Amino acid sequence: MEVVSPKLTTRMPVTDTISEFWEAMSVHFDVQRDASCGGHVHVTPLRNGSKFTLAELKQVAFATVVYDDHVTSVLPPARRTNGYCPSNTRAGTPALQSRLRALVAGGKNTASLRQVASELRSCGSPREVWAFMQKSRYVLWNFQNVCPGNSGTCTGTVEFRGGSQFLTTKGTLAWVAFVLGFVTLATEEVSLNWL
């Protein structure tokens, strides 16, 4: 079963909404665990228009590369090897792969991260960021929804596809908090000029 929530904001009683949903699910359905199932969290900035600026998208993209190993380490084992959410650095576009060869083969180093930062700085549109970061939507951090025409509508979201099964209020909120925290870190602390 796939369940899609309405848009929620941090200004709403999100815990109450998710708690009510899980209470209803437990009353009407026999929710079963399946390690192959995952949850996705879509996020946009909380401001008028709810769209990332180009600079913010670049920062989020760079953060997904810089912190790739750390994010992978918190994923459940079934999500680390799942074909629907491989790391962008391991399943990205040929352009991303050529610049990340050192990251994958020999660990992160200043030279490879400089190349990634340089490539992202040169992106002139959200579509270019998306094209650099992935070849399909089946990657850990999906940027496809920031571009009109890719999947029907442009929601403006960055989608995190690595969440484990969303089976309880607490588990669902934990993944939502993780994604919000990561994107906040990326947009407020990460700089393409670090190197």
Beta bridge partners of 163: 39
- Give the containing element (helix H, strand E) for 163: strand 158-163
Q: Report which of 72, 73, 71, 84 is spatially closest to residue 39, judged by C-alpha positions.
A: 84
> What confidence tens digit (pLDDT) does each residue in 20-38 have?
888 888 888 887 777 777 8
pLDDT score for 184:
92
Residue linked to tokens 């990326």? 186
Q: 0.95 cut: is pTM over it?
A: no
pLDDT score for 195:
57
Distance CA 41, CA 161 (A): 7
> What confidence tens digit (pLDDT) does each residue in 99-133 have?
666 555 666 778 788 888 888 999 999 999 998 88
**Per-domain residue ranges of the chain:** 34-189
Q: Report which of 87, 83, 91, 70 is spatially closest to residue 38, judged by C-alpha positions.
A: 83
> What confidence tens digit (pLDDT) does each residue in 171-180 have?
889 999 999 9
| Positions of E strands within the chain | 39-43, 141-142, 158-163
**Average pLDDT over every residue of 72-86:** 89
CB 156 within 8 A of CB 48: no
- Give the containing element (helix H, strand E) for 160: strand 158-163
- Length of the chain equals 195
pLDDT score for 78:
87
For 36, 55, 59, 113, 172, the CA distances from 195, given in Å and listed in that order, are 38, 17, 13, 8, 35
Beta bridge partners of 42: 159
Beta bridge partners of 141: 160
Order of strands, sheet of 158-163, starting from the edge strand that comes earlier in the sequence: 39-43, 158-163, 141-142
pLDDT score for 59:
95
